[in-house]
């Protein structure tokens, strides 16, 4: 757990404030994703200033900080594209102000920890560890009362940049990294904030689409495939992507869902590239066949 591996700066801050608000700081350092961290800070600040209105606002260069009203502001973090401010609508005494400032300092440090641990350094997308965490969260929440309806479900897509090895061989790995970076930026622009984007490894990427049906999932992935195909990349001009899609079934093992998407992706690569293939459709049409082993927990494919 991240809370057992605090940064040196966070440890120093904890020692400095014990025992007055150490509990709140420990709550911050136990958060492992940005939404949970944001919610925790807002809750703790509201507890310290119950008469004030607390807002945690993230914004980009199109909305400067001067446009945001508020009496008390705490600058939280400056990243490439985002700035966070904790704004309290109300006057604070010096003791409360200092306590919230300590919370903000730990918040900034924890943001850096989460970014290092859960995000791919080149693309800033989620990494394999972040994917494992998300899948565990989804499968742990698969209780009967929490299950989604058939009309609103989850889909998992694996995407692979076509002929990426040729790009690396011809132009070098430095330029290959530039392709990966631009590709990830197209992903961020195309998919919604509620979707989960990951660099799965090398030139392979993974998307978990939330609250969509099959038609919607297919539509957004086809739109992304077309966006990549029509985007002008430096030197090579055109890059294409092959995609394998499957329903994310929470009553299966996580690896089985990924394997299903991977089989659909391999089919797309083998049959012309620059296309989307859906695992369930391939199975239904007989173009792919599944063969179950004698054991319950292992599935073998032919």
- The alpha carbon of residue 172 and the mean position of all alpha carbons in its chain are separated, in whole angstroms, by 28
Structure tokens at 134: 């998300």
Q: Residue 153, SS3?
A: strand
CB contact at 8 A, 30 and 43: no
Question: Residue 152: phi, psi to the nearest 5?
Answer: -135, 95
Find the radius of gyration of the CA atoms of the chain: 23
CB contact at 8 A, 130 and 200: no
Within 8 A by CB and 6+ apart from 16, the residues are 102
Residue bearing tokens 């004030």: 52
Choose the catalytic residue: 51, 91, 203, 229. 203
CB contact at 8 A, 82 and 60: yes
229 catalytic, yes or no?
A: no
Q: Which residues are catalytic?
A: 203
């Amino acid at each position: 757990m991240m809370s057992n591996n605090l940064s040196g700066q966070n440890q120093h801050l904890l020692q400095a404030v014990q025992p007055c608000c150490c509990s709140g700081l420990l709550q911050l350092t136990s958060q492992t994703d940005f939404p949970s961290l944001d919610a925790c800070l807002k809750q703790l600040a509201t507890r310290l200033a119950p008469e004030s209105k607390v807002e945690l606002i993230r914004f980009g260069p199109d909305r400067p900080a001067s446009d945001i009203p508020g009496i008390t502001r705490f600058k939280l973090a400056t990243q490439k594209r985002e700035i966070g401010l904790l704004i309290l609508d109300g006057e604070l005494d010096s003791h409360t102000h200092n306590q919230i400032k300590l919370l903000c300092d730990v918040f900034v440090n924890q943001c850096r920890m989460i970014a290092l641990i859960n995000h791919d350094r080149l693309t800033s997308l989620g990494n394999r560890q972040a994917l494992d965490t998300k899948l565990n969260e989804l499968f742990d929440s698969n209780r009967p009362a929490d299950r989604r309806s058939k009309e609103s479900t989850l889909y998992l897509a694996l995407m692979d940049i076509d002929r990426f090895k040729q790009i690396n061989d011809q132009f070098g790995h430095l330029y290959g990294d530039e392709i990966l970076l631009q590709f990830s930026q197209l992903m961020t622009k195309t998919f919604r904030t509620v979707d989960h984007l990951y660099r799965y490894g090398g030139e392979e990427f993974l998307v978990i689409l939330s609250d969509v049906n099959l038609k919607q999932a297919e539509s957004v992935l086809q739109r992304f495939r077309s966006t990549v195909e029509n985007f002008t990349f430096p030197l090579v001009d055109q890059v294409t992507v092959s995609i394998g899609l499957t329903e994310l079934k929470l009553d299966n093992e996580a690896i089985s869902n990924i394997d299903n998407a991977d089989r659909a992706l391999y089919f797309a690569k083998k049959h012309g590239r620059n296309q989307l293939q859906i695992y369930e459709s391939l199975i239904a049409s007989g173009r792919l066949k599944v063969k179950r082993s004698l054991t319950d927990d292992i599935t073998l494919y032919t």
